[in-house]
Amino acid sequence: MKKYKWLVPTLYIIFLMLPIYWLINMSFKTTTEIINTYSLWPQKFTTENYVKIFTDSTWYMGYVNSITYTVFNTVISVAAALPAAYAFSRYKFLGDKHLFFWLLTNRMAPPAVFALPFFQFYSSVNLFDTHIAVALSHCLFNIPLAVWILEGFMSAVPKELDETAYVDGYSFGRFFFKIFVPTIAAGIGITMFFCFMFSWVELLLAKTLTATEAKPIAATMTRTASTSGYELGLLAAAGTLTIIPGAIVIYFVKDYIAKGFAMGRV
Amino acid sequence: MNKTINQKAWFFVIPVFVLVAFNAAIPLMTVVNYSFQETFGNNVFAWEGTRWFKQILLSERFHAALGRQIAFTFIILLIQIPLGIGIALTMPKKGWGVPVCLILMSMPLLIPWNVVGAMWNIFALPDIGFLGHSLNGLGFDYNFTQQPGDAWFTTILMDVWHWTSLVVLLSYAGLNSIQPAYYQAAEIDGASRWATFRYIELPKMKKVLTLAILLRFMDSFMIYTEPFVLTGGGPGNTTAFLSIDLVKMALGQFDLGPAAAMSLIYFFIVLLVCWVFYNLMMKNEAQS
């Protein structure tokens, strides 16, 4: 029994990789080949789909837009969540528990509920179709998440650290940035990873809040599909490219992931 | 940790409070506003009281969408939680296998949701997709764009593919936090594999599993993009879950009143279930 234990994760990983392989397979075929023949690997290997994406600005700008608002969102979420998480982990104050649950309820709000009011709200403040609008709207679910994860990491740091620093004559600001932030660097890394992840994969709000200037890559893909028939090869190449930023980010935080989950927060 | 009482801590919370309130409270008020009124365009509104709420709560369409949603969430929880635990139990604990497993298993979590839908669409197409082609080759009459049963099968398989890794990662982290001494004690007592799992591993994973169930419940209950791209809610309305139905009503038909009422009912259901879960979770935390 023990000897065959490795089979389970191996089979699971094969199951995970199959659709991804199929997408990559398609991305190196021409659309005609995809429609007319079924084959496990490209018969007439072509990179023209990728060339098209990297030379056509409506395509590659989609990636630039997506990455821009994702980075904005990650920075805003973490910056705002740091002091709040500190307050939740160190102090009791009026309404703290209710506030914490209220924050979490926003992680539970179905984006579909907010799509229309967001559209109207951001249009009325003239932020429609800007990166900042998407970044701000994603704060709805990323800030609660960031506060939740960071609070977990901060609570694991003993309070004596704060007290010793104050005795040593550190001001709050110096203590926070010079001592506290480096102590929970791993936690901040994990938080940024999850903020990046949830902002990167979200489409409904990003699509609703943009038209042309800040249109995410994912929306470019759906619109192309509906206007010019199914250009499957191109679609597959664009899809393959959206996997890459995520894969890079995972590679950098792989050592922290298990640790972050171990905090029991995510 | 014993916390000090400090009302000034509110100042630390203000940025978060403002940002989330800006995003949540204002749009939510808009929804509440619409839910009680009839709109004629050009900002002309008429008070409708609870008419939309009654209409939604009594409508067959809402009942059907809610029924599909509950069935879907129930099925995926039933598959993903045991499967996730099983995979976590068999994952390597040290060596080169750990980063390989972690990286490869996290992959589906970082793919944009519509790409997940598009990928599964291509993968499952009966004529050119690997899954569809293979199933038909094996003699099954499979076509997810035509047959409701196949559409459900594909949607569920896609969600299992997409999210089981989250349960795996959480369970794995829970398992890793168990001290080796527990296992040694179990071995000395001659505990069976099942007993070890039931009395040592499962209780230690309770916290992360509650979290996994909570997260999977919330996210599957809100699912929109993946089934929308995969099946478009079809064939017919057979895979139109709550969010898909809601967006159709709000942005497609522009029935703002009923859509707003439906949003609030929808949100309320999610909130209620999560509140119960959250309290259970906090109770567990207080005990341990």
* Cβ contact, residue pair B107, A247, below 8 Å: yes
* Cβ contact, residue pair B16, A147, below 8 Å: yes
Q: Which residues in B lie closer than 8 A to residue A84 (C-beta atoms)?
A: 12-13, 15-17
**Domain annotation covers residue B22:** no
Asked if pLDDT for residue A73 goes beyond 90, the answer is yes
* Cβ contact, residue pair A201, B130, below 8 Å: no
| Domain span including residue A195 | 57-262
Give how far Cα A1 sits from Cα of B87, B191, B193, B195, Å.
15, 16, 11, 16
* Cβ contact, residue pair A258, B172, below 8 Å: yes
- Please check whether residues A242 and A123 belong to one and the same domain: yes
Average pLDDT over residues A175-202: 87
- Please check whether residues A82 and A182 belong to one and the same domain: yes
- Please check whether residues A224 and A175 belong to one and the same domain: yes
The count of structural domains within chain A is 2
What DSSP assignment string belongs to A72-113? Answer: HHHHHHHHHHHHHHHHHHHEE-TTHHHHHHHHHHHHHS-HHH
- Select from A4, A5, A12, A248 the residue whose CB has the most chain B CBs within 10 Å, as the one to mutate to test that interface: A12
What sign for the dihedral angle of Cα B238, B241, B244, B247?
Answer: positive
Which of B114, B120, B130 lies nearest to residue A203, judging by beta carbons?
Answer: B114
Asked if pLDDT for residue B45 goes beyond 50, the answer is yes
* Cβ contact, residue pair B106, A250, below 8 Å: yes
Q: Which two tokens stand for residue A26?
A: 């398609």
A232 HSE (CA, 13 A, CB side):
22
Q: A170: helix, coil or strand?
A: coil
B17 and A99 Cβ atoms separated by less than 8 Å: yes
B270 and A112 Cβ atoms separated by less than 8 Å: no
Question: What burial class does residue A67 get, using C-beta atoms within 10 Å of its C-beta: 0-12 exposed, 13-18 middle, 19+ buried?
Answer: middle
- Select from A4, A98, A116, A250 the residue whose CB has the most chain B CBs within 10 Å, as the one to mutate to test that interface: A116
Q: What is the DSSP letter of B233?
A: T
In terms of Cα–Cα distance, which of B215, B226, B121 is closest to B168?
B215
B165 and B105 Cβ atoms separated by less than 8 Å: yes
- Please check whether residues A121 and A85 belong to one and the same domain: yes
pLDDT digits (tens, 9 = 90+) for B64-116: 999 999 999 999 999 999 999 999 999 888 778 888 888 889 889 889 888 89
**Domain annotation covers residue B245:** yes
Question: Please, which residues have CB within 8 angstroms of residue A129's CB and are 6 or more apart in sequence?
Answer: A209, A210, A211, A212, A213, A214
- Please check whether residues A41 and A121 belong to one and the same domain: no
B64 and B237 Cβ atoms separated by less than 8 Å: yes
CATH code (residue B90): 1.10.3720.10
Amino acid at the residue B184 = Q
The residue of chain B nearest to residue A239, with distances taken between CA atoms, is B115
pLDDT digits (tens, 9 = 90+) for A5-37: 888 999 999 999 999 999 999 889 887 787 777
* Cβ contact, residue pair A139, B267, below 8 Å: no
Q: Which residues in B lie closer than 8 A to residue A242 (C-beta atoms)?
A: 111-112, 115
- Please check whether residues A147 and A180 belong to one and the same domain: yes
Which of B17, B122, B229 lies nearest to residue A236, judging by beta carbons?
Answer: B122
**Domain annotation covers residue B49:** no
Rounded to the nearest 5°, which phi and psi values hold at A142?
A: -80, -35
**Domain annotation covers residue A4:** yes
**Domain annotation covers residue A52:** no
* Cβ contact, residue pair A35, B128, below 8 Å: yes
- Please check whether residues A188 and A115 belong to one and the same domain: yes
**pTM across the whole model:** 0.86
**Domain annotation covers residue A14:** yes
- A&B contacts, CB < 8 Å: 283
**Domain annotation covers residue B66:** yes
* Cβ contact, residue pair B87, A6, below 8 Å: no
Q: Which residues in A lie closer than 8 A to residue B90 (C-beta atoms)?
A: 5-9
How far away is chain A from the Cα of B10, in angstroms, using its nearest Cα?
A: 7
How far away is chain B from the Cα of A118, in angstroms, using its nearest Cα?
A: 6
- Select from B8, B12, B220 the residue whose CB has the most chain A CBs within 10 Å, as the one to mutate to test that interface: B12
Amino acid at the residue B120 = W
Q: What is the predicted pLDDT for the residue at A227?
A: 46
- Please check whether residues A128 and A242 belong to one and the same domain: yes
Asked if pLDDT for residue B29 goes beyond 90, the answer is no
Average pLDDT over residues A225-244: 76
Higher pLDDT, A70 or B58: A70
Q: What is the DSSP letter of B48?
A: -
**Domain annotation covers residue A51:** no
- Whole-number mean pLDDT of chain B? 85
Per DSSP, which regions of chain A are E strands? Answer: 91-92
Within its chain, how far is the Cα of A56 from the centroid?
Answer: 25
pLDDT tier for residue A266 given thresholds of 50, 70 and 90? very low
Average pLDDT over residues B2-25: 84
Q: What is the predicted pLDDT for the residue at B72?
A: 95
- Whole-number mean pLDDT of chain A? 84
Q: What is d(CA A89, CA B114) in angstroms, rounded to the nearest whole number?
A: 37
Token pair 């506003």 is found at B33
- Please check whether residues A80 and A176 belong to one and the same domain: yes
Select, from the ranges B8-17, B25-34, B69-78, B117-126, the one with the highest average predicted confidence (pLDDT).
B69-78
Asked if pLDDT for residue A264 goes beyond 70, the answer is no
Q: What is d(CA A113, CA A117) in angstroms, rounded to the nearest whole number?
A: 8
How far away is chain B from the Cα of A78, in angstroms, using its nearest Cα?
A: 10
- Please check whether residues A35 and A151 belong to one and the same domain: no
pLDDT tier for residue B41 given thresholds of 50, 70 and 90? low
In terms of Cα–Cα distance, which of B19, B16, B20, B45 is closest to B33?
B45
Which of A105, A202, A264 lies nearest to residue B207, judging by beta carbons?
Answer: A264
Q: Which two tokens stand for residue A117?
A: 């009011």
Q: What is d(CA B70, CA A202) in angstroms, rounded to the nearest whole number?
A: 23
**Domain annotation covers residue B26:** no
A186 HSE (CA, 13 A, CB side):
16
**Domain annotation covers residue B14:** no
Q: What is d(CA A257, CA A244) in angstroms, rounded to the nearest whole number?
A: 18
pLDDT digits (tens, 9 = 90+) for B141-159: 888 888 888 999 999 999 9
Asked if pLDDT for residue B44 goes beyond 70, the answer is no
The residue of chain B nearest to residue A66, with distances taken between CA atoms, is B112
Q: What's the complex ipTM?
A: 0.85
CATH code (residue A247): 1.10.3720.10
Angle between helices B51-58 and B256-287 (to 10 degrees): 70
Angle at B92 between CA B89 and CA B93, to 5 degrees: 90
- Select from A20, A25, A36, A108 the residue whose CB has the most chain B CBs within 10 Å, as the one to mutate to test that interface: A108
- Please check whether residues A257 and A131 belong to one and the same domain: yes
| Domain span including residue B232 | 61-287
The count of structural domains within chain B is 1
Which of A117, A118, A140 lies nearest to residue B20, judging by beta carbons?
Answer: A140
How far away is chain A from the Cα of B249, in angstroms, using its nearest Cα?
A: 11
Q: Which residues in B lie closer than 8 A to residue A10 (C-beta atoms)?
A: none
In terms of Cα–Cα distance, which of B39, B239, B273 is closest to B30?
B39
| Percent over 70 (pLDDT), chain B | 95
Q: Which two tokens stand for residue A81?
A: 């969540």
How far away is chain A from the Cα of B146, in angstroms, using its nearest Cα?
A: 19
pLDDT digits (tens, 9 = 90+) for B215-269: 898 889 888 888 888 888 778 888 888 888 888 877 777 777 888 888 888 888 8
For chain B, what is the total number of helices (H) and then of strands (E)?
13, 3
Amino acid at the residue B165 = S
Asked if pLDDT for residue A84 goes beyond 80, the answer is yes
